[in-house]
A = this chain, B = another copy of it.
């Protein structure tokens, strides 16, 4: 509990429903949470109003398992929130499952949170000094302590005071007695949407959660916006903008996290990914000196994360797109690999070359990003074994060089392969004929308002002081760039 690394809270999904008329809220919440399953498979949970109390149910596991009980029987209610949580390597950590429900002087509060607080240490030290006890290692608990400790006369004011103190990434939904809040930090790191249908209000991380409920009217919660929905209607307040602050929307949501059929930050995810793929192609077209001479015979995605970008690459380059790899969707985390070759085997159980597509071909293999490089190595070997003449790996993300303090689970700088090797060195290491990343500048051309995005994991430019250790900050730059 002493690490300066941002504590738990990575890649999660949140959803919330409020209805003036009683609905079967727990059942209704099942569907948006199910559609956000890709944002977290470690645990799932909901909290909802049951008469004059709030009750919570959460457990380790997938939405369809944990929440299946809510598909039977009726539980009339006005409001509820839900959460899916990303699987980390920490083992059984039911304590960190969300929503967190507390009782305090402001009433009953349940909170589901996506993001990471950066000034955790400072806030926690203050709360420690004041005698607060922590039952989880999650940032989320901080908010609840601060709200409860606030001397502000009303809950709403206590909430605002709390949010003004907590620096970092947070998109969250909160149930305070009979009222629902949807909140997004002023930097707008994580997406959050709000919509209405037949009097019911729905909030969720991505628009795919709106679609499954057939909610057609929705919009982004604004950065810094605090929306409260209660019996009097819906009202917005705004947090003060930090001095000199601009938006820092996480570009990785577009590159990798969000579902391709979703909108986040008012962008179609699929469309942006196609643009990134197109931009990768444009980079390549110019790269070998002779614009228009293709470097390969076909474009193959790493399914499913590379699908959209690969299609974009194919369209922009004019090279044919083909399914050179298929994915076994039964491969999950439900069994333990028996041998030392576990990682290699895991790739082999999940991704399979289609020999007829691959054999004898020069291939552009499109994936979203490169972290440690181990999976790519296995993948390139698979393709070469299947007869690929050349494999040119293209990543729709720039080189990842810095840790994220806003909710993405990126390893330490020392573990990031791009901190140790140039693309050429990486190619040699993983057996590819070339490796190329989308440059930050090119990535920006794929965005409408690039100034509104966070690129910190690529360029280390954090919007404010982050709790990085000096050792990590000063890691010698071993890249030998040309």
Which of A94-102, A168-176, A397-405, A426-434 contacts its partner? A94-102
Task: Looking at the assembled complex, report how far the CB atom of A216 sits from the nearest CB atom of chain B, in whole angstroms.
Answer: 9
Q: Name the one of B63, B101, B148, B328 contacting A37, with C-beta atoms under 8 angstroms.
A: B328
* A129→B329 CA distance, assembly (Å): 47
Task: Looking at the assembled complex, report how far the CB atom of A341 sits from the nearest CB atom of chain B, in whole angstroms.
Answer: 11
Query: Given A101-B135, A135-B101, A353-B261, does the pair A108, B1 have CB atoms closer than 8 Å?
Result: yes
Q: Is the CB of A354 within 8 A of B56?
A: no
| Interface residue SS majority, chain A | mixed
Q: Is the CB of B132 within 8 A of A212?
A: no
Q: Is the CB of A323 within 8 A of B311?
A: yes
Query: Given A323-B307, A334-B64, A335-B68, does the pair A128, B108 have CB atoms closer than 8 Å?
Result: no
Q: Which residues of B contact A338 (CB under 8 A)?
A: 27, 71-72
Q: Which residues of B contact A330 (CB under 8 A)?
A: 34, 37-38, 62-64
* A13→B337 CA distance, assembly (Å): 22
Task: Judge whether A205 is part of the interface by a CB distance below 8 angstroms.
Answer: no
Which of A218-226, A314-322, A460-468 contacts its partner? A314-322
Residue in A53, A129, A354 whose Cβ sees the most chain B Cβ within 10 Å: A354
Q: Is the CB of B328 within 8 A of A320?
A: no
Task: Looking at the assembled complex, report how far the CB atom of A190 sits from the nearest CB atom of chain B, in whole angstroms.
Answer: 21
Q: Name the one of B72, B102, B103, B349 contacting A34, with C-beta atoms under 8 angstroms.
A: B349
Q: Name the one of B105, B109, B134, B356 contacting A128, with C-beta atoms under 8 angstroms.
A: B105
**Looking across the interface, which residue of chain B has its beta carbon closest to that of A103?**
B134
Question: Using a CB-CB cutoff of 8 Å, which residues 53-77 of chain A contact chain B?
Answer: 53, 56-57, 62-65, 68, 71-72
Task: Judge whether A188 is part of the interface by a CB distance below 8 angstroms.
Answer: no
**Looking across the interface, which residue of chain B has its beta carbon closest to that of A267?**
B356
Q: Which residues of B contact A148 (CB under 8 A)?
A: 131-133
Contact with B along A419-442 (1 / 0, CB 8 A): 000000000000000000000000
Q: Which residues of B contact A132 (CB under 8 A)?
A: 104, 131-133, 148
Q: Which residues of B contact A334 (CB under 8 A)?
A: 62, 64-65, 68
Task: Looking at the assembled complex, report how far the CB atom of A342 sits from the nearest CB atom of chain B, in whole angstroms.
Answer: 10
**Looking across the interface, which residue of chain B has its beta carbon closest to that of A323?**
B307
Question: Using a CB-CB cutoff of 8 Å, which residues 321-371 of chain A contact chain B?
Answer: 321-323, 325-326, 328-332, 334-338, 348-349, 352-357
Q: Which residues of B contact A335 (CB under 8 A)?
A: 64-65, 68, 71
Task: Looking at the assembled complex, report how far the CB atom of A85 sits from the nearest CB atom of chain B, in whole angstroms.
Answer: 14
Task: Judge whether A31 is part of the interface by a CB distance below 8 angstroms.
Answer: yes
Q: Which residues of B contact A164 (CB under 8 A)?
A: none
Q: Name the one of B95, B101, B328 contacting A56, with C-beta atoms under 8 angstroms.
A: B95
Task: Looking at the assembled complex, report how far the CB atom of A278 sits from the nearest CB atom of chain B, in whole angstroms.
Answer: 13
Q: Is the CB of A104 within 8 A of B337?
A: no
Q: Is the CB of B261 within 8 A of A134?
A: no
26 A-B residue contacts at CB 8 Å? A1-B103, A34-B328, A62-B334, A64-B330, A65-B334, A71-B336, A95-B101, A102-B134, A103-B137, A104-B132, A131-B148, A132-B133, A132-B148, A133-B145, A211-B352, A212-B348, A212-B349, A259-B326, A261-B325, A270-B323, A270-B326, A270-B354, A270-B357, A271-B356, A304-B326, A304-B329
Can you add 5 more A-B contacts, CB < 8 Å, to A62-B330, A105-B128? A34-B349, A35-B328, A68-B334, A71-B335, A101-B135
